[in-house]
Amino acid sequence: MGDDNDKTSDRGLFRRAAAGARRLRQDKVSPHRPRRKPVPEHSRREARAVLADSLADAYQDSEIDTGEELLYLRPGIQQRVWRKFRRGQYSIEAELDLHGCTAAQARPLVASFVLEAQAARRRCVRIIHGKGLSSEGKLPVLKGKVNAWLRQMDAVLAFCSARRNDGGTGALYVLLKRP
């Protein structure tokens, strides 16, 4: 190796390249973290309000019985996916319990729950509507309303009554579109 003044030696080349450099006071460099995209909270709030207002209360089916199983499937869902979904083989990623809610209270809750779950990239959620055993006439009011509301939502690909250990006919598994 040549000495420090040799223009072709590694040391000499380095010293010339680093001639204007200053010593740092600290040697820690924070890693680059990409900024998160801003959340359009106002737009989401408006979308939830519009959706909740647009959900019709009337539903086509006659009164739904407490033990009646609910099934809904949009065209285009693969049969393999539908079978796994109905068997409860998808993990439940979020849950909404409507026990004690009136229909007026439940409608915006269902709308915002579905939209937020979809925005959070949840694929399978459970909505517990109850069997109506505590309501007047022992009829499941929310069961029919939730059935109608979910059918109107673009985010919902399919839903079915849950397995017995997940609430049976008092709860629904809901399969959501990816955003």
Architecture of domain 41-176: 2-Layer Sandwich (3.30)
CA distances from 90 to 8, 32, 132, 158, 162 (A): 66, 36, 26, 13, 11
Those residues with Cβ within 8 angstroms of residue 66's Cβ, 6 or more apart along the chain or in another chain:
131, 132, 133, 138, 139, 140, 143, 169
pLDDT in tens, 107-133: 999 999 999 999 999 999 999 998 877
Look at the pTM and tell me if it is higher than 0.75: no
Give the residue, 47 or 75, on which the prediction is more confident. Answer: 75
Q: What is the pLDDT of residues 35-71, one digit of tens each?
A: 777 767 767 777 776 666 666 655 444 456 556 889 9
Which of 69, 86, 70 has the alpha carbon at shortest distance from 78?
Answer: 86
pLDDT of residue 52: 65
Residue with the two structure tokens 């068997």: 87
Q: Which two tokens stand for residue 3?
A: 């000495």
The fraction of the chain above a pLDDT of 70, given in percent, is 80
Tens of pLDDT, residues 20-41: 888 777 777 777 777 777 767 7
The H or E element that residue 145 is part of is helix 141-152
Decide if 111 contacts 50 (C-beta within 8 A): no
